[in-house]
Amino acid sequence: MSVFWSDIVAQIEPLDGIALDATLIEELSQRRAGLDVGSVNFYTPTFKTYATSEIVGCGKNAWPAVSITGGECGLACDHCKAKILEPMIPARTPEALWRVVNDEIARGAQGMLLSGGSNHRDEVEYDAFYPTIRRIKNAFPEFRIALHTALVGRDIARRMEASGIDAAMMDVIGAQDTISQVYHLKRSVADFEHSLECLTATSLKVVPHIVLGLHYGRMLGEWNALEIVKRHPPAALVLVVVMPFYAPAARPFVTPDPRAVGRFFMVARERLPDIPLLLGCARPAGRVKSQIDAYAVMAGFNGIAHPADGMVELAARLGREVRVTPACCSIALGEEVLALQSDGVRIDVERIIEHERARAAGRQRGPLANIRVVAA
C-alpha cells in the first residue's frame, strides 16, 4: 500500500519536487485503510481571488465578512494584532448591521460571517445585536449567518441559538501558556471547554477551530484541544495552521513543521471518525501548503478550502469521490461546515482532463482515467 501511494504522488505533476515524508505516507495509508472517509469536498471561500489548474473560483461578494466593532479589538493577540478585522465591513450598531445586510443582499450576498473584536475577557459583545440578527433571519430566511462566538456562558449560548444563526464558531485552545502569552488573556483552558460545552448543548451547528502551531509556531496545546472537542462532539471540526503575518518582531513565529501537522491530521481523523474533519483556508503558502494539503487528503479529511494545485487529482487517484463547492455555496471563515450542506456541486472536469492530457503529451503519462469525479 505504501508503494502504491508513493507511486500515485509521483504521477501528479504539481507535487513534483514537493518533499513528502515517505514514512508518514506509509503510516497514513495503513491507518486510513480501516476508516470509511467518504467523499472529499474542495471549496473556495470568497474573501480572496482563487483558482488553480483544477478549480475555478467564483465571485467575491457572495459571502461578506462583517465586524460589529470595525477594526477594534481589546486583545491584540500576537498572531493577529486585530488586523484580521480590518478588511471586514464595519457595522457598529444594530441599525448599521440591518443596512449592511440589506445592501449586501441587493448585491447578491447569500450569507455572511459575523464577527467582532473581543473585550479583555475574550467575549464579543453581541447583546444589542441579537434582535437585529433575529430580524434578518425572519426577513431573509435563506440568508445564512456564521457567527464567531468567542467565549460564552450558557445564557449567551441560548441567546445565540434564539437569534437564528446558522453556525457558531470558536477557537479551542488547549494550553494555558498559549492563552496567557499569545492571547494575553486571564482565562483558563477550562473556560474554553466550558464555552464549547455550552454551545454544543444548544441546537446550534457548532464548528470549533483548532489552530495548529498557535504557540509561536510550535505544537503545544493542540492535542489537549482535540480531546476537549472529542468530549463535546460538534457538527464539524476545522483545523487551520497559524499564519502570523502580523506577529511582533520581538516574538516571532516559526513555520510549523508540515510533518508534525500531517501526523496531527492522522490522529485527529482516528479520534474523531464520525465528525466531519475540515482544513480551513488559513495555512502557510507555497510548498508548505502543498505538503499540508497532501497530508490532509491522505488522512481522509472531508473538506479542504483553497486546495493547492494537484489535490483534486490526488484525492481522485486515491479512490475518493471528489466534489467541488464554489464560493457561492460557502461562507468565508465559516464555510467549513456550511459547504458540506450544499447540493450545488460543480467541478470543471473538462479543464482538468485537458490539462492532464497536455501534460501527458509531453511526459508520456496517462490521462485522468478511471477517476470518479462528481459534477453538476
Least confident stretch, 132-141, 168-177, 340-349: 340-349
CA distance 274 to 8: 27
Integer Cα distance of 322 and 375 in angstroms: 9
Q: Assign 32 a pLDDT band (cuts: 50, 70, 90).
A: confident
Cell readout for 241 is 495552521
First to last CA, the chain: 32
Segment 137-147 shows an average pLDDT of: 94
Which one has a higher pLDDT value, 375 or 255? 255
pLDDT at position 258: 97
DSSP result, 141-164: TT-EEEEE-BS--HHHHHHHHHHT
Sign of the dihedral defined by the CA atoms of residues 129, 188, 85, 306, in that order: negative
Strand partners for 279 = 239, 304
Mean pLDDT of 354-361: 57
Closest-CA residue to 74 (of 85, 87, 90): 85
Instruction: Compute the average pLDDT of residues 90-100.
Output: 98
Strands, sheet with 277-279, edge to edge from the N-terminal-most edge strand: 89-90, 65-67, 111-115, 144-148, 167-171, 206-212, 237-241, 277-279, 303-305, 40-43, 322-325
Q: Per mean pLDDT, which range of 125-134, 223-232, 303-312 is the poorest?
A: 303-312
Q: Please check whether residue 63 is in contact with residue 45, taking contact to mean a CB–CB distance below 8 angstroms.
A: yes
pLDDT at 313 over 80: yes
Which range, of 18-32, 44-58, 82-96, 238-252, averages the lowest pLDDT?
A: 44-58
CA quadruple 283, 289, 295, 299: dihedral sign: positive
> 219, 264 in Cβ contact below 8 A?
yes
From 187, 165, 163, 164, select the one nearest 174 (Cα to Cα).
Answer: 187
pLDDT at 67 over 60: yes
Is residue 106 pLDDT above 80, yes or no? Answer: yes
Each domain of the chain, given as residue ranges in start order, spans 2-363
Calculate the average pLDDT of the chain: 85
Set of cell numbers at residue 212: 495548529
pLDDT of residue 345: 45
Beta strands at 237-241 and 167-171: parallel, antiparallel or unpaired: unpaired
Percent of all residues in the chain with a pLDDT value above 70, rounded to a whole number: 81
- Which residue stretches of 11-88 are H helix? 22-32
Enumerate residues 6+ apart whose C-beta is below 8 A from 306. Answer: 44, 45, 50, 281
pLDDT score of 58 more than 50: no
CATH of domain 2-363: 3.20.20.70
pTM for this one? Answer: 0.87
**How much is the pLDDT for 239?**
95
Q: What is the pLDDT of residue 245?
A: 74
Looking at the predicted structure, is the pLDDT value of residue 21 above 70?
Answer: yes
How many Cα neighbours within 13 Å face the side chain of 100?
24
Mean pLDDT of 209-216: 96
